[in-house]
Structure 1
Amino acid sequence: MTYEGLFRLDGRRAVVIGAGSGIGREAALALAAHGAEVVCADRDVPAAEATAAACGGTARELDVLDAAAVARAADDTSPDVLVFTAATNVRKRLLDYSAEEFQRVVDLNLKASFDVVRAFGAGMVARGRGSIIGFASIRASVTEPGQGVYSATKAGLVQLLRTAAAEFGPSGVRVNAVAPGVVETPLTKQIKDNPAWYEAYAAKSALGRWAQAEEMAGAVVYLASDAASFVTGSVLYVDGGWTAVDGRFDPPN
């Protein structure tokens, strides 16, 4: 491998779960641009087909809440790279949460991730190679009122991925997490639609703005490629400095 080809993914198949929109869509486009054959998986079939058409890939319907469907997808596709982004959030304080809301967030953010990592990881371990990239969040390490259950699931996801890295590593499989800050995606629409919240979140990061979904794509390509051949069990923060800044303070003149 020469350095000029360090990020190339020619000859590799990547499955992107959540490819229909947001970060998943941009990840699929970026992986394809670097030579990967991309399977665009999403519950929203027309959205997956649109992404597949844009990157020369194939579309697949997949509801990650259906563990049997996840297992079939893993067997059918046998990828070298797996990226999964699917998540949900119910922004409520703990005392206002219902049991149904708690279960809904845990089922998608943590239980489905468990099923995905096991199903796709088993094939990679058997083949002796692979890269698994899961999307956590800054909320895995820092939180705020109304983010308790989401934060708990993302912290749990990080530890799940770290454990998978420890268990799959001897077989040549790498497992890592990307932890975005605030990104303009459908998941954050509730915040974006409130100007006061939008500005407050923008001001919190060191860069003073929100991220665009395409700004997560470089992290995905890096972790998928040989450039990260000795990187596993890591959390790559792509947060504009959010977790580095302990609040914002402008001293008086």
Structure 2
Amino acid sequence: MTDTTDYRRLFDLHDRRVLLLGAGGIGREAGLALAAQGAEVICGDRDADTAATTAEGVTGAGGRATAVELDVTDPADLDRRLDEIGDVDVVVLTAAINVRKRLLDYSVEEFDRVVGLNLRGSFTVLRAVGARMVARGSGSIIAFSSIRARTVEAGQGVYAATKAGLEALVRTAAVEFGEAGVRVNAIAPGVVETPLTAQIRADPEWYRAYATKGALGRWSTPSELAGAVVYLASDASTFVTGSTLSVDGGWTAVDGRFVPPT
């Protein structure tokens, strides 16, 4: 049997509709990259201004985009919006929050807020989007995890637990949706210069410490995550599912930057 794949079109997304859930920061750059490859991008966010700003950025760069206000933590609202949007080929979920506190200092309310968006919200998206894609027989779901799903530190326990749980949901969804032709994967960034990391970046010592944890010796920018999103959205990854793609500058591959004498 001869494979007739046209490798020139591996990353061509002109026939894809993409729903972006979480349109700021990394989501914005993902939207710009997807549109640059030809995709139609629906920018969804709980904050209507964020969704609109990203959509305007995409159209301003020559891409196709619209904005929609939605809440991934509200199953009824998400279902209603998905019905209005119609069929989508790709869903990218970036929405997440973090409360940096040690476990003994965490309140139940803070725990519920972080778990409510990061884990319950992810479950809500997988269930709602997955049902529609499975019924249609195709689709790619891309969820954003974190290196914290595998490496933890003081003050990151609840966030880490939600990301580890997210990866378990992604693997399970990949198994359950796979026979219908739906792929489900995660991307695990390292340290990225986004509003979520503003507290760290404001402390020069803390900033340098994180920069030197990875093999490349620096932080990443949101644009450096966009290529992984395009890959998992495209035909270049048609046999990739149930995976977590680390885009962490080597953080999880090395034990800091110290080079011991040999």
The normalised TM-score by structure 2 is 0.94
1:17 to 14, 21, 25: 21
Q: Contact 1:109–1:153 at 8 Å: present in 2 too?
A: yes
Q: Secondary structure at the match of 1:248?
A: coil
Whole-Å separation in 1 of the counterparts to 2:84 and 2:135: 15
User: 1:166-245, aligned counterparts within 5 Å?
Assistant: 166-245=175-254
Q: Secondary structure at the match of 1:146?
A: coil
Q: What is the match of residue 101 of structure 1?
A: 110
Whole-Å separation in 2 of the counterparts to 1:98 and 1:143: 19
Q: Contact 2:147–2:189 at 8 Å: present in 1 too?
A: yes
Runs of 4+ in 1 over 6 A off after TM superposition: none
The total of aligned residue pairs comes to: 252
Q: Contact 1:139–1:151 at 8 Å: present in 2 too?
A: yes
Q: CA deviation at 1:249?
A: 1.8
User: 1:55-134, aligned counterparts within 5 Å?
Assistant: 55-56=58-59, 57-77=65-85, 78-134=87-143
Q: Secondary structure at the match of 1:171?
A: coil
After TM superposition, the structure 1 stretch with the greater mean CA deviation from structure 2, 69-78 or 191-200, is 69-78
Whole-Å separation in 1 of the counterparts to 2:41 and 2:180: 23
Whole-Å separation in 1 of the counterparts to 2:97 and 2:19: 20
Whole-Å separation in 1 of the counterparts to 2:16 and 2:256: 42
User: 1:118-157, aligned counterparts within 5 Å?
Assistant: 118-157=127-166
Whole-Å separation in 1 of the counterparts to 2:179 and 2:42: 27
Whole-Å separation in 2 of the counterparts to 1:109 and 1:27: 19
Q: What is the match of residue 62 of structure 2?
A: none
Q: What is the match of residue 44 of structure 1?
A: 47
Whole-Å separation in 1 of the counterparts to 2:144 and 2:82: 18
1:30 to 26, 30, 33: 33
Q: CA deviation at 1:63?
A: 1.6
CA shift digits 1:94-117 (9 cap, x unpaired): 111111111111000000110011
Q: Contact 1:164–1:175 at 8 Å: present in 2 too?
A: yes
After TM superposition, the structure 1 stretch with the greater mean CA deviation from structure 2, 94-103 or 171-180, is 94-103
2:8 to 4, 8, 13: 4
Q: Contact 2:215–2:256 at 8 Å: present in 1 too?
A: no
Amino acid aligned to 2:71: D
Provide the alpha-carbon RMSD of the alignment: 1.1
Q: CA deviation at 1:252?
A: 5.6
The normalised TM-score by structure 1 is 0.97
Q: Secondary structure at the match of 2:212?
A: helix
Structure 2: give runs of 5+ residues left out of the alignment. Answer: 60-64
Q: Contact 2:185–2:232 at 8 Å: present in 1 too?
A: yes
Amino acid aligned to 1:58: T
Amino acid aligned to 1:121: G
Structure 1: give runs of 5+ residues left out of the alignment. Answer: none
Whole-Å separation in 2 of the counterparts to 1:185 and 1:63: 21
Q: Contact 1:74–1:123 at 8 Å: present in 2 too?
A: no
